[in-house]
Structure 1
Amino acid sequence: MFRMLALTVLTMVLMLAQALAAYARPESFADLAEKFSPAVVNITTSTTVAQQAGPAPMVPDGSPFEDLFRQFRDRGQGDDGRARRSSALGSGFVISEDGYIVTNNHVIERADEIIIEFYDGGELEAKVIGTDPKTDIALLKVEANAPLPFVSFGDSDTARVGDWVIAMGNPLGQGFSVSAGIVSARNRALSGTYDDYIQTDAAINRGNSGGPLFDMDGKVVGVNTAILSPNGGSIGIGFSMASNVVTRVIDQLQEFGETRRGWLGVRIQDVTDDVAEAIGLDIAAGALVTDVPDGPAADAGMLAGDVITSFDGVKVADTRELVRQVGNTEVGKSVRVVVFREGGTKTLKITLGRREDAEGMGDDIVGEDGSDATPEAQTLMGLTLTPLDDELRGQLELPGDAVGLVVQDIDPLSEAYEKGLRAGDLVTEAGQQKLNSVADLEDRIEQAREAGRKTLLLLVRSNGQPRFVALSLEDE
């Protein structure tokens, strides 16, 4: 009886182990690769590279090195010194039977000619419909005589860390290739404002750029874009732009030939614990407004020092989330924005502008008239401060109506130095009130203490860029 029970338990354990192994790793990816590979393409680009003129090496006539330098120059410029053509390789995938193709912007950027090579060996020339450098996505179009095999996008938000994924493309120019791995991490940011990368250990190499990352249902959940590597080859850290970002970009490129992102018109920074304490905010969340240049937010009455806690009905966790929410919102839409201001909340109704139209516009920094205080340096909070006068405005290239306190010196052991303040910075506000004199700052310090604050929030401009810094009052 005991032996039968033991055998039964052992059998169940083995069956469970087999089931877990089968669940953990599929027997083969061959069916998926065979089904969707016809929609994956190789991309070859050709670019004219102009020769840069430069001084010729000074070699004396008759020198034994004269022929050597001439050969070196000819190899670099060609026999006639004219511009030469450069080729590059990448990957892409067809998303519609009428020939729309997705790839990376960096694959086709500045290309004069784009050739699409299909899985069956056929080739077609492609034209660029639109590009988005911010997400490194490009949309191409080919004209084919018959419907093309294509793949569909999936919901990247459903991809979980540990899920199996398959990368397809043209690594190192070797032709069609498949690699498999798992989702290693989600919501990675590299350097772009709208980054939302899926990290994977599926092998991605040069030439894979622009190729698809499939889930096990054969849906595209990412566009292979970048790798992290000390040697240029795959070490198991690859990044694919999430499909939910890509589809929004592709829809706009297809409709308009360009992107159209919402624009709020504010400069922002994350809310840290010390900043939250300084302004009386219970939770260190939201986006702290550091500047409000002319734009939609200014028209609606938003102020520097406001903390944006909700945008269009969605809570704002941090600046990155706000930027993405705004960018994904329709241009011209009126949204409700909730801000924390002076211990309470206020709702603003803002009609969004277009980000692309606003880029490159200068921001006017307008202050109040200065006081009649004598510019005498005083030291507070580790900062040696002097009120602005006409001479200092000229030295710092500030507008005539700018006000505030100039940091003339700073204690290198102070908290202010640790948090990045430097000589030449301009402190324009303390406790979210304008500063015209050192006495104003002393008053703000006293008011903060009376209110039981442990920190004081300063608005600082470094090289014209505003940011809030919370400094401790304990040592004052």
Structure 2
Amino acid sequence: MKKIATLLFVSILGGALTLGSYKIFFEEDSNQFLPQDNSQQNSFIPVTNTNRAYGTNADFTEAAEKTVHAVVHVKNVAVFKSGPRSIWEYYPYNNNGGRALQGAGSGVIITPDGYIVTNNHVIDGASEIEVTLNNNKTYKAELIGSDPLSDIALIKVDPEEELDYIPFGDSDNTQIGEWVLAVGNPFNLKSTVTAGIISAKARDLNLRDNSPQSFIQTDAAINPGNSGGALVNINGELIGINTAISSPSGSYIGYAFAVPSNNARKIVEDIMEFGDVQKGILGIRGTSINNEITRELDLSTSQGVLVADVTPGSGAEKSGIRQKDIIKKIDNIEINKFSDLTGYINSKRPGDEVLVKLMRDGEEREVNVKLTKLDTYPIPALGIEVANASAEELEAYKAPNGVRINRMLSEDLPSADLVGGIISEINGQKVSSVREVEEVMRSRTRANPIVIVFYTKQGEKQRMIWK
């Protein structure tokens, strides 16, 4: 026992002597080779050692099961009373009484009693609309209403039983990088599901001149037959209506776009309650800030919307918004470009109030703005869209009556400087509202020229003729 204790003591003592010798003779010398300049130690590449899982094992099966039976196939059928123009107009109905397929797409059931959202371009010009469910049942559908500007339409079927439907989600809460599913029902494939992520928000494709759109961009595969289908999150909530793809060939190449669900829901509710879309406006004309504007105006910010003009009598004017103000935020939505602003405002109605955060002369301000209603009427023959004019606008333009030229329908027209002017007469008839303009245009003889009398921003009365 004593031998073992002695051996253990000797071993410990030997280890201590060895460690002490190393500290004295080796570690002290090695310090001579370390860099002495402390500034060298602060030059490094930032890294993180956080162990975070970036797996792709998200489970889409539950979201797919919740949504696949609520997406339908929509057929746009034209009926020729005088007979078909060619044998091909019967296809694919095989000589079935002068019926021809004009177009097809998908639709989303949003209520158990059969209300369906689809794209306006899917049903545009239809004599009949047919809807086929995922279980192959087919129904005739009624067009309830549509909004060509947003490309959203609402149709209705009368089923024998309650239908599966997809509840609306909040598209404002979606995030870039979030997983989504695109659910469609092409003509011969029944329901299809593809997965991807949200690639961008508030994307403006410049599909319509002077009318910025605001789409959700996704890399989930969407092809033409999927137009009008559902974009859903992994909870199976509707966050968008698939509408467009960006492709030179017409087939999917990685860029697809959807109308945000908040905008689509507002349009649907307007159609169901009022029969048409109740569009609220802020009352400004503006542009996204870019590098050129930043340098020209010596701005302290490179993002936001620069106010170019304020509509007289609008909520923006009454709240004190001025030219050259920079809008940075509306409610809790960051405004980095004009499509951010239009996307959010298009989800609101006339009479709604929004909190606008803006910059003026480098200082931040907040104002409450009550949105006003925009009644518009497009006149393709003139290439313009008109809106009801307020009393303040008539006074500002020194016009006794009239409607406001709201926007040009094409940037190619040479009369783009007419925007904002007041039209008081069309073909010798005084007009004071868009309804009166519509009546005049419908009753005119198309072969005759159109003569308008209008007032410029300077209050000058002018006359123009369109042949």
Whether TM exceeds 0.5 here: the answer is: yes
1:176 to 187, 191, 216: 191
Q: Structure 1 residue 360 and structure 2 residue 379: aligned?
A: no
Determine the structure 1 residue equivalent to 2:224.
206
Cα distance in 1 between the residues matched to 2:129 and 2:256: 25
Determine the structure 2 residue equivalent to 1:329.
348
Determine the structure 2 residue equivalent to 1:155.
170
Cα distance in 2 between the residues matched to 1:172 and 1:32: 22
Change (3 A) 1:50 1:134: farther
Determine the structure 2 residue equivalent to 1:112.
127
Matches within 5 A, 1:44-59: 44-48=75-79
**1:360 counterpart SS class:** strand
Determine the structure 2 residue equivalent to 1:25.
57
Cα distance in 2 between the residues matched to 1:186 and 1:338: 20
Mean Cα displacement is larger for which, 295-304 or 28-37? 295-304
Deviation of the 1:288 alpha carbon: 2.9
**1:361 counterpart SS class:** strand
Change (3 A) 1:308 1:325: farther
Identity between Structure 1 and Structure 2 (%): 34
Cα distance in 2 between the residues matched to 1:212 and 1:37: 9
2:386 is aligned with what amino acid? G
Deviations 1:329-381 (A, max 9, x none): 3313466667666787887765432123485138879799xxxxxxxxxxxxx
Are 1:106 and 1:136, in contact at CA under 8 Å, matched by a contact in 2? yes
**1:306 counterpart SS class:** coil
Are 2:212 and 2:338, in contact at CA under 8 Å, matched by a contact in 1? no
Deviations 1:184-214 (A, max 9, x none): 3333222354633333332221211111122
Deviations 1:116-156 (A, max 9, x none): 11111211111122222232222222112221111222233
Determine the structure 2 residue equivalent to 1:250.
268
Determine the structure 2 residue equivalent to 1:128.
143
Change (3 A) 1:264 1:117: same
Q: Structure 1 residue 43 and structure 2 residue 61: aligned?
A: no
**1:248 counterpart SS class:** helix
**1:178 counterpart SS class:** strand
**2:135 counterpart SS class:** coil
Cα distance in 2 between the residues matched to 1:190 and 1:397: 21
Aligned residues: 336
Which of the pair has more CA radius of gyration?
2
Deviation of the 1:286 alpha carbon: 4.0
Structure 1 unpaired stretches of 5+: 1-16, 52-72, 369-395, 403-427, 429-433, 435-476
Change (3 A) 1:187 1:285: closer
Mean Cα displacement is larger for which, 256-265 or 159-168? 159-168
Cα distance in 2 between the residues matched to 1:248 and 1:367: 34
Cα distance in 2 between the residues matched to 1:49 and 1:367: 49
2:237 is aligned with what amino acid? K
Deviations 1:401-420 (A, max 9, x none): x9xxxxxxxxxxxxxxxxxx
Determine the structure 1 residue equivalent to 2:306.
288
Change (3 A) 1:191 1:303: same
Cα distance in 2 between the residues matched to 1:335 and 1:185: 24
Are 1:308 and 1:337, in contact at CA under 8 Å, matched by a contact in 2? no
Are 2:244 and 2:256, in contact at CA under 8 Å, matched by a contact in 1? yes
Deviation of the 1:183 alpha carbon: 3.1
1:190 is aligned with what amino acid? L
Change (3 A) 1:180 1:319: closer
Are 2:374 and 2:387, in contact at CA under 8 Å, matched by a contact in 1? no
Deviation of the 1:276 alpha carbon: 4.7
2:200 to 185, 199, 204: 185
Are 1:286 and 1:318, in contact at CA under 8 Å, matched by a contact in 2? yes
1:231 to 228, 231, 249: 249
Structure 2 unpaired stretches of 5+: 1-50, 91-96, 378-384, 399-414, 422-455, 459-467
**1:245 counterpart SS class:** helix
**1:204 counterpart SS class:** coil
Cα distance in 1 between the residues matched to 2:296 and 2:266: 39
Cα distance in 2 between the residues matched to 1:172 and 1:76: 18
**1:320 counterpart SS class:** helix
Cα distance in 1 between the residues matched to 2:273 and 2:159: 21
Deviation of the 1:24 alpha carbon: 0.9
Change (3 A) 1:181 1:197: same
Are 2:105 and 2:185, in contact at CA under 8 Å, matched by a contact in 1? yes
Q: Structure 1 residue 309 and structure 2 residue 327: aligned?
A: yes
**2:225 counterpart SS class:** coil
Matches within 5 A, 1:339-418: 351-357=370-376, 360-361=386-387
Cα distance in 1 between the residues matched to 2:291 and 2:153: 40
Change (3 A) 1:344 1:232: closer
Are 1:286 and 1:307, in contact at CA under 8 Å, matched by a contact in 2? no
Determine the structure 2 residue equivalent to 1:95.
110
**2:226 counterpart SS class:** coil
Cα distance in 2 between the residues matched to 1:166 and 1:341: 42
Deviations 1:34-90 (A, max 9, x none): 443221211112124799xxxxxxxxxxxxxxxxxxxxx865899xxx987443221
Cα distance in 2 between the residues matched to 1:160 and 1:153: 16
2:57 is aligned with what amino acid? R
Cα distance in 1 between the residues matched to 2:61 and 2:316: 57
Cα distance in 2 between the residues matched to 1:348 and 1:159: 26
Cα distance in 1 between the residues matched to 2:252 and 2:193: 14
2:56 is aligned with what amino acid? A
Are 2:375 and 2:388, in contact at CA under 8 Å, matched by a contact in 1? no
Are 1:46 and 1:114, in contact at CA under 8 Å, matched by a contact in 2? yes
Are 1:266 and 1:297, in contact at CA under 8 Å, matched by a contact in 2? no
Determine the structure 2 residue equivalent to 1:266.
284
**1:144 counterpart SS class:** coil
Determine the structure 2 residue equivalent to 1:389.
none
What's the RMSD between the two structures over aligned residues? 4.4
Change (3 A) 1:166 1:253: same
Are 2:289 and 2:337, in contact at CA under 8 Å, matched by a contact in 1? yes
Determine the structure 1 residue equivalent to 2:47.
none
1:360 is aligned with what amino acid? V
Change (3 A) 1:211 1:273: closer
2:350 is aligned with what amino acid? V
